[in-house]
Amino acid sequence: MVRHVYDSGNINIARLNKIHAQLVYDDGEITLHTKRRVGWFAWIGILVGVVVLASALASFVPMRAGASAKTQAPFSLPAPVPAPQTEMQAGVMTAIIARPESKQSNGPMIALVIDDIGPARYWSEMAIGLPAPVTLAVLPYVSDAAEWAVRAKATGHDVLLHMPMEPLGLEDPGPGALLRALPAVQNRKRLKIALARVPGVIGINNHMGSRFTSCKKCIEQVADMLYEQDLLFLDSVTSPASAAAGIVERSGVPVIRRDVFLDDINTPAAIAVQIQRAEQLAHENGVVVVIAHPRPDSIAALQDWLKSLDGKGIELVSLHEAMLRKQTLERGLLSRVVGL
């Protein structure tokens, strides 16, 4: 026979009290844990709110002029440089160039450019000693090209990158030259490297380059790059077939062409003839661009010639001034300052 065992009433009551006490304890622990979690979230929410509110208020407070460098932005992006303003002339996009200090003279002008600055060190030094505003064109492949550019600018001269380009003959234009056989990306890379080696230039002109400047497709490869960097182009006209000026000009780049080579024949007599020719063209056409080189006979002739220009009623001007005057005379454009 199975015996049923029954607990006494006191035992049942004690067991129920024990269970009740355990339930009350567990409930308290859960409640306390929950309260702690809620408390942590509340504090985090308050801190985030304070930070957001402080940031919002700070954005409305202008920074003091004397604020610590630690509280200011480490750098700021410069304002975008406007591209040269242009006008349409007979379907051709032509850049307008001027400078704030332009004198707008109506008399005859001569702009003198000295090419090949760098390799002939002594005569390059003499060229830097010529009175401003002579423009100096620095070759990029000399080891101290940047130093020549900095020194030239420090003495008041404008600086050009004298960019080596492929000639028609067998002459060597030097390392890093622009070549017809190279792909466009390679020629653009070479021009970029050369610009980095000659800092602070206002533009470029070609060193040699009779073959490269006669190639329409070749010139188009670099024209856009000149426009992007707000640089002018001086066509040295080393070949009568040069297409450079017209192609670069259609890209919106300010362009000017050489009128006289002073020392193609490097003798005092030949240089004297070219000086007379430059003066005559200045009186006839209003403005002339003359290119010379850092050579003994050339420097000697230039030192005397530049001193005599005032007495002849001819003004020595920068390449900027010459470009402005040529645009006014040849195209009848209204000049406008564009920061060059």
pTM over 0.85: no
pLDDT tens track for 37-57: 445 555 566 665 555 455 444
Report the distance separating Cα 159 and Cα 144, nearest Å. Answer: 15
- Residues 192, 225: contact at Cβ < 8 Å? yes
Report the distance separating Cα 321 and Cα 316, nearest Å. Answer: 9
CATH of 86-331, one of 2.160.20.10, 3.40.50.720, 3.20.20.370, 3.30.310.10: 3.20.20.370
pLDDT tens track for 127-171: 999 998 999 999 999 999 999 999 999 999 999 999 999 999 888
Report the distance separating Cα 293 and Cα 297, nearest Å. Answer: 10
What does the longest C-alpha to C-alpha distance in the chain come to? 150
Q: State the DSSP H helix or E strand holding residue 289, giving kind and residue range, or none if neither.
A: strand 287-292
Q: Name the 3-class secondary structure at 287.
A: strand
Report helix, strand and coil shares of the chain as percent, to nearest 5. 45, 15, 40
The pLDDT averaged over each successive group of 10 residues in the chain (340 residues) is 46 52 48 49 57 46 32 32 40 42 71 97 96 96 96 96 94 95 95 97 95 91 91 90 87 93 96 97 95 97 95 94 83 45
Domain boundaries, the chain: 8-52, 86-331
> Which residue blocks in the chain are alpha helix, DSSP H?
9-58, 121-128, 145-154, 184-197, 216-228, 244-250, 268-285, 296-308, 319-331
Q: Kindly report whether the peptide bond that precedes residue 133 is cis, defined as omega within 30 degrees of 0.
A: yes
